[in-house]
Every structure is written in structure tokens, then in C-alpha cells.
Amino acid sequence: MRTGTPLITDDPRAAEALASIRVLYTDLDGTLVAKGGSVLADADARPSLVVAEAIVALARAGVAVVPVSGRGRLQLRELTQLLGWDGYIAEAGGIIVHGTGLDFEAHMDTGGWPEGTLAADETPFRAINRVGAAEALIEALPGRIEQYAPWQLDREVSLLLRGCLDAAEGQAVLDTLPLPLDFVDNGMLRNYGTLTCRDMPPHAYHVVPRGVSKTRAISLDLAWRGLDRTQAAAIGDSATDLQMADAVGVLALVDNAFGSNGVTNGLEATPRDNVWRTQAERGEGWAEFAGAWLAALR
């Protein structure tokens, strides 16, 4: 589907749509940052200022950038502040935060869970552990899924796992538990950890309350900002990121996204006319998108 997805720098429709964009929702791993997690490197992790310069150029233009990630609140708060941004969406859509100072506002989303699902002072993360979601998945899919150490610590809404399986397999296990949960594929990883499967690359997976998603979180954040979807763009590299197209006017996929079966299958199953691609991978693709956006705004 790479060839069927137009380049964001070549399509006049993209330029027209980008001229209305006022906020960008950006994935981090596999999208903004290089291998190893740096913004001071190119797609091959060689030292480079291309991403940093794009971040500065967008800041000078006065537009908003909001990280949307599976990372936890503590990780994202520091990163957001370091990059000069003022809000973020953590845990694959489970937490929406406005501000990074002492006066920040945070909203925890429990999706479609009815009132009374959580015990007193219980977080969604603790409820997911209470019903044994991780244990059920590991027992049903031995060698194919495990806790994503150490990043599974300090969670509030979602359980973070690493594995190599189709998301439908994980969802089938969760459907046997006494709590409505979704199994979310948040993209490819580099490290297998202790997994024994080698028939596909490892992926990060989230177990979240039924209905929680990056897409839903973006819609909630746009309502808070008083913007509609035509004024928002998103960029990412995974099947979960592809779904963000339903909440924004423009979705860009960095070139490495097309190495994911979830992305290519998703594009084939649900064609969308607001999805474009970049020529470059990872942060260089992110900078390519930023350049197209700034050109449209001018």
C-alpha cells in the first residue's frame, strides 16, 4: 500500500488540508525519535539536527504539537517539557494532560467502563491486574508475550506488554476475563527480550479499558481546545496510529510504517482519503512532514 498512499509533499490536496492545521498529534517511538530514542539523530541513529530544527521551526510558527504515546505520564511529562511543548497524551490514550507545570490538568479516561467498575481508589491499571490479564495472556500464549520490563512500571491506565502475535489472538484471551478490555498493537520494537518467537518482529501491546484509544483521546483533546478535526493532523508509524485518521483532517505515515502488516492491512481494509506518507523514515520523515505543513501555512 506504500505506492497507493500519496506523498504528502507531492499532493495538492495535502497542501490544501495542511493550511488549516493548528495542532499536530505525534507518535514518538518509530516516528519522531531515532533508533535508541534520540531527537538529535537521523533515521539511522547518526548525529543530526534535522528533527531538532523542525521542532524549533514549528515552535516559531506558533503551532501546537502534542505527543501521543504508549509511554507513561512521568516519561512524557519530562520529554514534553524538554521539547518546549505544553501537553501530552500518555498510555495509548488513557491519560490526557494539559500543561507541564504545577498547574497542569490531567484527565484519566476509562473508555466505556460503567460507573462502579473501579473499586475505591483503584486505578484502571490495578483493575486490569486484579483480573489477571497479564497472567492469562502469558499462560495462553507461552513464549509469545511477556511484561515489557521495565516500562510496565508506574502505569495508571494500561498494561504494557511485548510480544509477537496477531492482536486478535490477544483480544480473544482478554474476552474471557470479567472486565471489558481491549488489546492494542502499538507498533514494532527492536528487542525480543526473553520471547522465544522469531516468526515476526516483536511489538508493543497495551491492555486498556474497552474504548480507550489514541483516536478517542485526540477527539477529547480537540474538544478541550475548541478545534475541529479539520484543524488537526497526526503522524505515526503503527496500526494504532493509522486509526488516528478518524479523528483528524490529515494523517501522515512515516515511511517505516509500511513495514508493519497492521498498517498495510489496515489501509487495504479501510481506505481513507486523508492519509499521506513521507518519503523518509522516522524523524527525517517527521521533519519532512513539518516542512510540508509550514509551507502550507505560508
Q: Is the CB of residue 112 less than 8 Å from the CB of residue 180?
A: yes
What is the average pLDDT across 37-43? 93
CA distance 231 to 57: 19
Kindly tell me if the per-residue pLDDT of 184 is higher than 70: yes
CA distance 142 to 149: 17
DSSP designation for 48: -
Confidence (pTM): 0.94
Average pLDDT, the chain: 95
Q: Is the CB of residue 237 less than 8 Å from the CB of residue 262?
A: no
CA distance 281 to 143: 30
Encode pLDDT of 76-133 as tens digits.
Answer: 999 999 999 999 999 999 999 999 888 899 999 999 999 999 999 999 999 999 999 9
Q: What is the pLDDT of residue 103?
A: 86
Give the helix/strand (H/E) hosting 204: strand 203-209
Per mean pLDDT, which range of 44-58, 143-157, 275-289 is the poorest? 143-157
Q: What is the pLDDT of residue 67?
A: 98
Q: What is the pLDDT of residue 149?
A: 86
Q: What is the pLDDT of residue 152?
A: 84
Kindly tell me if the per-residue pLDDT of 71 is higher than 90: yes
Kindly tell me if the per-residue pLDDT of 3 is higher than 80: no
What is the average pLDDT across 172-197? 94
Q: Is 256 helix (H, G, I), strand (E, B) or coil?
A: helix
Burial bucket for residue 15 (CB in 10 Å: 0-12, 13-18, 19+): middle
At 289, is the pLDDT very low, low, confident or very high (cuts 50, 70, 90)? very high
Burial bucket for residue 57 (CB in 10 Å: 0-12, 13-18, 19+): middle
CA distance 78 to 64: 17
| Residues paired with 107 in a beta bridge | 96
Amino acid at 51: V
Residue 29 phi/psi, 5-degree rounding, is -70, 125
Angle value at C-alpha 219, between 280 and 204, nearest 5 degrees: 50
DSSP designation for 47: B
Nearest CA among 199, 267, 274 for reference residue 233: 274
Encode pLDDT of 196-222 as tens digits.
Answer: 999 999 999 999 999 999 999 999 999
Report residue 58 as a C-alpha cell: 514549528
CA distance 185 to 241: 10
What is the average pLDDT across 236-252? 95
Encode pLDDT of 254-265 as tens digits.
Answer: 999 998 888 988
Kindly tell me if the per-residue pLDDT of 31 is higher than 90: yes
Q: What is the pLDDT of residue 146?
A: 97
At 1, is the pLDDT very low, low, confident or very high (cuts 50, 70, 90)? low
Burial bucket for residue 119 (CB in 10 Å: 0-12, 13-18, 19+): exposed
Angle value at C-alpha 278, between 292 and 230, nearest 5 degrees: 55
End-to-end CA distance of the chain: 31
CA distance 93 to 31: 17
What is the average pLDDT across 159-165? 96
Q: What is the pLDDT of residue 256?
A: 93
